[in-house]
């Protein structure tokens, strides 16, 4: 994916001058002089490649590629608001057509199977762009959609988009009452029982659900129904004694409540929801730094009478334009989110571990930028931790309401690798970050991504929530990163750290791996946990470490690399640790093996050789496969910088023997 090069947020900066002055070039072709020489050459080229792509302000950001629902829903939003233009439509359609599979479908990740809701939304977007239903690529898509059950079998969110234009009946959708905004935080199904990403989406959707708007459809979609005369077949209720049965009947009761809800009460609830939305708009106009809540917030506020020139709406729409990546061929891809803080801290760690001096100007510039991104005001996390002082970092350029625990841990690890000209400022920032992360520990001793103890079993039961994760329970990968950070900060023996370690040891899978919530999947989880446990003092001879090593060696591919398909989230027995080798997943496995003391092993040697042999001449790696996750299986991510930062980190630790960040006092 090629991004714009204008230096604006969301753009991939042009190449800067090479920084190969960090050490002398190693002569000879790749492969000469053995594995270590090949590793050093690959490390040098990767270092130059990464340094050359730093923005002048100090940050790195690669494209964040997801699937075409982002592009389809962007066009549908513009159609709904009456602002769709020919240039945007043509560019979006070009991208969507290019992502269609040979069988007429669209997938949610590279090499994945066709997905019904994604295919429906892509098809409708192309209809908006003027593609006729009898064109071969469209006829093939609609035939497949009908075979899968048609629109009636699509997820709720897809049918909401269609209901906005009368292509689906609102009464055939689950009810989401705006009065939800008034539920106190101790009450089940209050908005803070939902993960922050779901919360930001559900609040505006309560307004949309209450208003039930319909814009005139520009064309019918009869070809996407199995029976156009009866598009919404009756659905059998689950047994009343089951949770599904309970919530289905609750939804029926809410439909009845809608008919009798006092208008003044409902209007007051929607106004409260609108205030909640507006209070959480970020300085750049977005909501939460992610596209879906921004889209639904714009629609909700528009329904309540906010015109498109209102400052809130104007800035919201402008923020959505910043999610667009324009390619050289004229296509336009929409990012669901942008990852500059995450990319920058990972790039800093990689470069430092590869031997770039701690006082190198580009590392200092990266540290300066990260220091400026620290969040020093309360956000939604403070609902559960009202006495905790702020001090975290978010994932995005602007997301002060939702700093995350994972980014904060990795930023601290990155800052520890930099020799900064203002050490007092650095220590204060790190201290705030450590204190905030410790304060966000859940009661089971582990850490989630954004909130504390966000583990209610009820949100996932709602008929409305049939897509992706809507809660934020602790995960092994986030907990591991926090434990590693605390160990580097000299807190390995702190009781809070020990509780995190105990939780990680208890979470190990029978085969020796760990589940990966935010990366694919068991390779990511294992690659995160093993270095953390070793950093915290767990010996490499510990049975848990040995089981992890044995598992990684058992799933290494014949080419020396590691890979894992996203289907491992659906069928772990078949796909755990299995898939085409990728640079990022190979690096994750190597990071675990190196931490476990396996630097001289045949598995490590073969993994390093895979990275050296698959590296491009310019120091980069190709990686079309998706190795990141938003929601396991349902929403997958290809972080375009993963293929650079993680291999460089692994090569650096192989060459230099250990991470450059040392624990305090060591």
CA distance 588 to 649: 9
Q: Which residues contact 637 (CB under 8 A, 6 or more apart)?
A: 64, 65, 66, 336, 626, 628, 629, 630
Please state, in angstroms and as integers, the Cα–Cα distance from residue 323 to each residue in 94, 233, 365, 519, following that order.
Answer: 17, 37, 25, 22
Confidence class for position 664, pLDDT limits 50, 70, 90: low
- Does residue 410 surpass a pLDDT of 90? yes
Residue 377 burial class via C-beta count within 10 angstroms: exposed 0-12, middle 13-18, buried 19 and up: exposed
What pLDDT is recorded for position 30? 40
Give the model confidence (pLDDT) of 460-489 as tens digits.
888 888 888 899 999 999 999 999 999 999
Q: What percent of the chain is predicted at pLDDT more than 70?
A: 94
Give the model confidence (pLDDT) of 577-623 as tens digits.
999 999 999 999 999 999 999 999 999 999 999 999 999 999 999 99
Residue 209 in tokens: 């659900």
What pLDDT is recorded for position 250? 84
What is the rounded average pLDDT of the residues 483-498? Answer: 97
DSSP string of 199-251, one letter each residue: HHHHHHHHHHHHH---PPPSS--GGG-SSTTS-S---PPPPTTSHHHHHHHHH
Give the model confidence (pLDDT) of 121-153 as tens digits.
999 999 999 999 999 999 999 999 999 999 999
Weakest mean pLDDT among 39-53, 113-127, 254-268, 303-317: 254-268
Confidence class for position 244, pLDDT limits 50, 70, 90: confident
What pLDDT is recorded for position 435? 98
- Does residue 384 surpass a pLDDT of 50? yes
CA distance 13 to 610: 28
What pLDDT is recorded for position 64? 96
Of residues 106, 59, 661, the one with CA closest to residue 370: 59
Please state, in angstroms and as integers, the Cα–Cα distance from residue 659 to each residue in 116, 158, 360, 421, following that order.
Answer: 45, 46, 17, 22
What pLDDT is recorded for position 5? 32
Bridge partners (DSSP) listed for residue 454: 472
CATH architecture of 38-64+337-456+476-656: Alpha/alpha barrel (1.50)
What is the rounded average pLDDT of the residues 431-458? Answer: 97
Of residues 378, 380, 406, the one with CA closest to residue 393: 406
Please state, in angstroms and as integers, the Cα–Cα distance from residue 104 to each residue in 66, 107, 119, 221, 367, following that order.
Answer: 19, 10, 8, 17, 47
What pLDDT is recorded for position 69? 97
What pLDDT is recorded for position 466? 80
What pLDDT is recorded for position 168? 96
Q: Are 481 and 433 in contact (CB under 8 A)?
A: no
406: annotated active-site residue: yes
CATH architecture of 67-334: Alpha/alpha barrel (1.50)
* Same-fold call for 38-64+337-456+476-656 versus 67-334: yes
DSSP string of 475-517, one letter each residue: -HHHHHHHHHHHHHTT-TTSHHHHHHHHHHHHH--TTS----S
What pLDDT is recorded for position 252? 87
Strand pairing report for 324-326 and 628-631: unpaired
Answer with the residue of higher pLDDT: 137 or 19: 137
Placement of tokens 């689906």 in the chain: 168
Give the model confidence (pLDDT) of 35-65 as tens digits.
999 999 999 999 999 999 999 999 999 999 9
What pLDDT is recorded for position 465? 81
What pLDDT is recorded for position 662? 53
Residue 431 has a CB neighbour count (10 Å cut-off) of 13
What pLDDT is recorded for position 10? 35
Weakest mean pLDDT among 229-238, 484-493, 591-600, 621-630: 229-238
What pLDDT is recorded for position 232? 75
Confidence class for position 14, pLDDT limits 50, 70, 90: very low
Task: With both helix axes pointing from N to C terminus, report the angle between 340-353 and 361-372 in degrees, rounded to the nearest 10.
Answer: 150
- Does residue 228 surpass a pLDDT of 60? yes
The gap between the terminal CA atoms of the chain, to the nearest Å, is 43
What pLDDT is recorded for position 249? 83
What is the rounded average pLDDT of the residues 529-534? Answer: 98
- Does residue 645 surpass a pLDDT of 50? yes
Residue 648 in tokens: 């460089």
Answer with the residue of higher pLDDT: 362 or 232: 362
Query: What is the overall mean pLDDT for the chain?
Result: 92
- Does residue 1 surpass a pLDDT of 60? no
CA distance 379 to 453: 16
Placement of tokens 């309970």 in the chain: 246
What pLDDT is recorded for position 233? 73
What pLDDT is recorded for position 462? 86
- Domain spans, the chain: 38-64+337-456+476-656, 67-334
Answer with the residue of higher pLDDT: 218 or 463: 218
CA distance 528 to 490: 19
Residue 83 burial class via C-beta count within 10 angstroms: exposed 0-12, middle 13-18, buried 19 and up: exposed
- Does residue 436 surpass a pLDDT of 60? yes
What is the rounded average pLDDT of the residues 181-200? Answer: 95
Please state, in angstroms and as integers, the Cα–Cα distance from residue 470 to each residue in 294, 457, 514, 584, 595, following that order.
Answer: 17, 10, 22, 27, 34
Q: Of 353, 406, 407, 472, which is the active-site residue?
A: 406
Bridge partners (DSSP) listed for residue 472: 454
What pLDDT is recorded for position 541? 97
Confidence class for position 660, pLDDT limits 50, 70, 90: low
- Does residue 259 surpass a pLDDT of 60? yes
Of residues 276, 125, 141, 130, the one with CA closest to residue 200: 276
């Amino acid at each position: 994916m090629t991004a714009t090069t204008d230096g604006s947020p969301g753009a991939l900066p042009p190449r800067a001058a090479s920084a190969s002055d960090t050490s002398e070039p190693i002569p000879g072709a790749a492969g000469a002089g053995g594995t270590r020489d090949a590793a050093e050459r690959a490390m040098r080229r990767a270092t130059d490649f990464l340094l050359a792509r730093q923005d002048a302000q100090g940050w790195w950001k690669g494209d964040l590629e997801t699937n075409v629902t982002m592009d389809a829903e962007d066009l549908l939003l513009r159609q709904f608001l009456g602002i769709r233009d020919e240039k945007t439509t043509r560019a979006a359609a070009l991208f969507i057509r290019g992502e269609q599979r040979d069988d007429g479908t669209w997938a949610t990740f590279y090499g994945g199977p066709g997905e019904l809701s994604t295919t429906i939304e892509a098809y409708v977007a192309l209809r908006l762009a003027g593609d006729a239903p009898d064109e071969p690529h469209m006829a093939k898509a609609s035939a497949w959609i009908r075979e899968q059950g048609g629109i009636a079998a699509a997820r709720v969110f897809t049918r909401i988009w269609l209901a906005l234009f009368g292509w689906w009946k609102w009464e055939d959708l689950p009810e989401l009452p705006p009065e939800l905004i008034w539920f106190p935080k101790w009450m089940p199904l209050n908005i803070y029982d939902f993960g922050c990403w779901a919360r930001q989406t559900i609040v505006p959707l309560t307004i949309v659900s209450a208003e039930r708007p319909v814009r005139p459809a520009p064309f019918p979609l009869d070809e996407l129904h199995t029976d156009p005369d009866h598009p919404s077949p009756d659905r059998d209720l689950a047994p009343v004694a089951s949770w599904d049965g309970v919530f289905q009947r609750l939804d029926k009761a809410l439909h009845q409540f809608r008919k009798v809800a006092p208008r003044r009460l409902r209007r007051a609830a929607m106004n409260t929801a609108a205030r909640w939305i507006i209070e959480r708009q970020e300085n750049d106009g977005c909501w939460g730094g992610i596209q879906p809540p921004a889209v639904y917030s714009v629609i909700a506020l528009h329904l309540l009478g906010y015109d498109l020139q209102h400052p809130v709406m104007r800035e919201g729409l402008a923020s959505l334009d910043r999610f667009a990546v324009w390619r050289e061929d004229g296509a336009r891809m929409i990012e669901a989110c942008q990852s500059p803080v995450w990319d920058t801290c990972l790039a800093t760690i990689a470069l430092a571990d590869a031997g770039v001096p701690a006082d190198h100007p580009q590392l200092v510039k990266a540290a300066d930028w990260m220091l400026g991104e620290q969040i020093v005001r309360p956000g939604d996390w403070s609902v559960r931790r009202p006495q905790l002082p702020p001090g975290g970092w978010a994932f995005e350029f602007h997301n002060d309401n939702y700093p995350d625990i994972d980014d904060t841990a990795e930023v601290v690890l990155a800052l520890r690798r930099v020799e900064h000209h203002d050490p007092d400022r650095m220590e204060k920032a790190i201290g705030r970050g450590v204190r905030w992360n410790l304060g966000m520990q859940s009661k089971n001793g582990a850490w989630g991504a954004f909130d504390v103890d966000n583990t209610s079993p009820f949100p996932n039961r709602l008929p409305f929530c049939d897509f992706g994760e809507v809660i934020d329970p602790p995960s092994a990968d986030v907990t591991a990163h926090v434990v590693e950070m605390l160990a580097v900060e000299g807190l390995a023996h702190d009781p809070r750290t020990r509780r995190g370690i105990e939780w990680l040891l208890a979470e190990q899978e029978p085969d020796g791996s760990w589940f990966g919530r935010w990366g694919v999947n068991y390779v990511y989880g294992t690659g995160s946990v093993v270095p953390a446990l070793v950093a915290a003092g767990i010996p490499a001879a510990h049975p848990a470490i040995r089981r992890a090593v044995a598992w990684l060696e058992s799933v290494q591919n014949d080419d020396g690399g590691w890979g894992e398909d996203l289907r491992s989230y659906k069928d772990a027995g078949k796909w755990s640790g299995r898939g085409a080798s990728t640079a990022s997943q190979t690096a994750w496995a190597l990071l675990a093996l190196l931490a476990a003391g396996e630097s001289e092993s045949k598995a490590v040697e073969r993994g390093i050789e895979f990275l050296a042999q698959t590296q491009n001449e310019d120091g980069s790696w190709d990686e079309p496969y998706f190795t990141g996750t938003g929601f396991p299986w349902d929403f997958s991510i290809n972080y375009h910088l993963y293929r650079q930062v993680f291999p460089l980190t692994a090569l650096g630790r192989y060459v230099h023997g250990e991470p450059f960040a040392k624990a305090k006092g060591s």
